[in-house]
A and B are shown apart, each in its own frame.
Chain A
Amino acid sequence: MTTAPLPELPGMPTARPAGHPFDPPEELAGVRPLARIPLADRTPGWLVTGFAAARAVTSDPRFSTRSELQRLVLPRFGMPDRMPPAPPGMFLQADPPEHTRYRRLLTGRFTVRRMRLLTERVERTVADHLDAMERAGGPADLVTAYAQPVPALVICEILGVPAEDHARFNGAARTFNDPAATAEETDRAWQELYAYLRDLVAAKRSAPTDDILSELTDSDLTEEELVNVATLLLAAGLDTTANMIALGTFALLLHPDQLAVMRDEPAAVDKGVEELMRYLSIPHTGQRAALEDVELEGHTIKEGDTVAVSLAAANRDPERFPDPDRLDLRRDAPGHLSFGHGVHQCLGQQLARVEMRAAFPALLRRLPDLRLAVPPEEVPLRSEADIYGVEALPVTWGPEGGGR
């Protein structure tokens, strides 16, 4: 083993550089590709910041996502240092072969082709919300008027959740992702969601409709597994896409030349969405636990060690993405890590792509003079949340004076 000492950070950095809300914490670039950090309980952990190393860890079966093996990277109020095993059906925290069994039940429902068939319906949902925004007039909070309701409606529809219940999910999803929420609040949100989904699954069993939950009642999943799979799909699909749409719009508004590309060049939309995903890396940090000793970048990660993987830093690795801190929608560099990598790579990514490919250009074409209604430094950021984004995005449009 090389004995070259690794750099060490005093803790996992979370603060974004002042005036650069889209850049990862500055400390990360200085410790590529691998560093040591103390974990939340002050025991030593590892921090991966290089692109190649991040791919290596996330695609290596010797690293596990099981929650009972992880130590918290960042302190979370009221959360124990060691977590219990995830309940059956929460397959993001399961390793193969358990993981494979659940994932296989769902992959057929989330294929590229199936998701593209939803394009028209997504576009209609997008247009409905733009109609409502135009009717109400500016200013508006883009998060509540657009970024949140569009993905919520879409995921609820394909899962089979009735429209009148959507508000409950938005509230619950926000609570899970809110670092300021107390353990009790998070617990209560989970229990509410769980109770609701249990009733819904029972309803689908007795009267199946044309949706994923109904189809899953036909599988060999137990009641508990089914409810947990449904919970995972909702929790994973709501807040992520919403934050991408809102933070992505914020980024475009501060890069008018790139905004023009997204608005005026239909051929650039697909690549532009990938570039926004790379540049923003809203799921900024992943983590894994080593199931055995593993060599990484010339160092030995010991069995049981927790490894934090900075997807945000890896997505800005200059060895993989030239001029990485530049937002360039025409960049032809697929393979960012914002949907993860390895067997847990996002199940819903094709759905998220359909939504973002519809949401960004439609918004910018309908409201070509869309602009911030507050100075950029007053936009509240979710620096502490597991999924980065904005709390609110005050925007306006139309003739001057319609704004602030």
Chain B
Amino acid sequence: MRIGADRDRCIGAGMCVLTAADLFDQDEEEGLVRVLDGAPAADRERDALRAARLCPSGALAVTDGA
């Protein structure tokens, strides 16, 4: 599983951080998403997918593959 984030789309709503604080953060300056762990263990897949689904701006992509 790979996590990608498009900071140009991100609107800093923080849903990702709220959902999985070990995978996502918001930078101090702009409040935009930063992926902390772009290739997390399989047991984090559920929360990663959940964060991507909840993201209001469609800035997150979770894809298969190592």
Contact = CB atoms under 8 A, between A and B. Distances in A.
A112 B25 CA distance: 9
Contact of A343 (B17, B30, B57): B57
A110 B31 contact: yes
Interface string A345-361: 11101100100000000
Contacts of B27: 108
Nearest to A274: B18
B24 to A, nearest CB: 9
Interface residues of A, number: 26
B54 A103 contact: no
A316 to B, nearest CB: 19
Contacts of B32: 104, 107
B54 A110 contact: no
B50 A349 contact: no
Interface in A89-135: 100, 103-104, 106-114
Contacts of A113: 17, 25-26, 28
Contact of B18 (A110, A112, A114): A112
Contacts of A345: 11, 13, 15, 56-57
Nearest to A341: B56
Contact of B31 (A107, A346, A353): A107
Contacts, number: 69
B56 A342 contact: yes
Q: In this complex, which of A100, A103, A334, A353 has the most chain B Cβ atoms within 10 angstroms of its Cβ?
A: A334
- Assign chain B's interface to a size class: 20 to 34
Contacts of A339: 13
B26 A111 contact: yes
Contacts of A111: 12, 14, 17, 26, 28, 31
A59 interface: yes
Contacts of B30: 104, 107-108
B43 interface: no
Contacts of B11: 100, 103, 107, 343, 345
Interface in A36-91: 59
A380 interface: no
A112 B26 contact: yes
A104 B7 CA distance: 11
B14 A349 contact: yes
Nearest to A99: B11
Contacts of B17: 111-113
Nearest to A337: B56
A195 to B, nearest CB: 30
B66 to A, nearest CB: 28
B12 A110 contact: yes
What are the 9 closest A-B residue pairs judged by CB atoms, nearest first? A107-B12, A107-B31, A345-B56, A108-B31, A111-B26, A112-B17, A112-B14, A111-B31, A345-B13
Given A112-B14, A334-B19, A334-B54, 15 more contacts: A106-B31, A107-B11, A107-B26, A108-B12, A108-B27, A111-B14, A111-B26, A111-B31, A112-B17, A112-B21, A113-B26, A343-B11, A343-B57, A345-B56, A349-B14
5 contacts: A108-B31, A111-B28, A113-B17, A335-B53, A345-B13
